[in-house]
Amino acid sequence: MSPRIEHDAGPPGHHAAGLFAAAAMHRDGDGNALHAPVLVLNASYEPINVCAARRALVLVLKGVAMTEEENGHFLHAARIAMRVPSVIRLLEYRRIPHQSRALSRKNILLRDRNTCQYCATVLPSGELTLDHVIPRSRGGSSTWENLVACCHPCNRRKGNQFPLEVGMKLMREPRAFNLHTSRHIMRLMGRSDDKWRKYLFY
Ligand SMILES: [Zn+2]
């Protein structure tokens, strides 16, 4: 299924930025549709990522990906109306290296599912901090294997100690965010979108 551009406004892609600037003014109360999660499939149909609808539309407009499923919303911008995708597929197969995810606060929280890794409390992102398992002051580095989601009380309690020194224990060994982890998260998210199911539960 190719992207449906009802009135072709010339070669797509080149004015994607302008399109979204216009879309910001013409979103018909559907602004959230541009932030909705979209499942990204490799050319082989293997799920490889989740991105925001806005990014997915740019990929479709650039001819890098095609829409496989729509989410029922339209993006009205300039002289075109586009159906907002729910699932897109890359047109060229992309090799996905393991551990390709950027080390960031957001991704650490995603990996740890917003759960304090010491007391198992689940909290909103804003109420969690990152803890260096081996404290920085004692040579710990900022790596996937040494950073975990942590609530403020646990973080204060642990201070500059090793977990064992203060009788704390990690729920599980922190690992790099690999494709397996991403798939697990995509499965969790897929429960809220029926259109993702056939690509995720295989
Ligand atoms: Zn905690």
Task: Give tens-digit pLDDT for 58-90.
Answer: 999 999 999 999 988 887 777 778 888 999 999
Distance 79 CA to ligand 1 centre (A): 52
Q: Where are the beta strands (DSSP E) in the chain?
A: 37-41, 47-52, 65-77, 80-90, 128-132, 147-151
Distance 192 CA to ligand 1 centre (A): 28
Cα separation, 116 vs 64, whole angstroms? 38
Distance 200 CA to ligand 1 centre (A): 32
Question: Which of helix, strand or coil describes residue 139?
Answer: coil
Distance 154 CA to ligand 1 centre (A): 4
Distance 129 CA to ligand 1 centre (A): 10
Per mean pLDDT, which range of 10-14, 39-43, 149-153, 156-160 is the poorest? 10-14
Distance 119 CA to ligand 1 centre (A): 4
**pLDDT averaged over every residue in the chain:** 79
pTM of the model: 0.51
Check residue 11 and give its pLDDT: 40
Check residue 21 and give its pLDDT: 44
- 115: which 2 tokens? 């759960």
Could you tell me which of 40, 74, 71, 45 has the C-alpha nearest to residue 55?
A: 40
Beta-bridge partner residues of 128? 151
Distance 186 CA to ligand 1 centre (A): 25
Distance 190 CA to ligand 1 centre (A): 28
For 111-167, the pLDDT digits (tens) are: 898 999 999 999 999 999 999 999 999 999 888 889 999 999 999 999 999 999 999
Cα separation, 52 vs 114, whole angstroms? 20
Distance 11 CA to ligand 1 centre (A): 52
- 9: which 2 tokens? 């406004």
Which residue in this structure is represented by tokens 């496989």? 68
Check residue 1 and give its pLDDT: 39
16, amino acid identity: A
Distance 104 CA to ligand 1 centre (A): 20
Question: Which of helix, strand or coil describes residue 161?
Answer: coil
Beta-bridge partner residues of 89? 41, 66
Distance 168 CA to ligand 1 centre (A): 10
Check residue 176 and give its pLDDT: 76
Q: Using CB atoms within 10 A of its CB, is residue 51 exposed (0-12), middle (13-18) or buried (19+)?
A: middle
Cα separation, 123 vs 118, whole angstroms? 13
> Is residue 28 scored above 50 in pLDDT?
no
Top-confidence residue, 31 or 92? 92
Check residue 124 and give its pLDDT: 94
Check residue 44 and give its pLDDT: 87
Distance 155 CA to ligand 1 centre (A): 7
Distance 110 CA to ligand 1 centre (A): 16
Distance 114 CA to ligand 1 centre (A): 11
Top-confidence residue, 41 or 96? 41
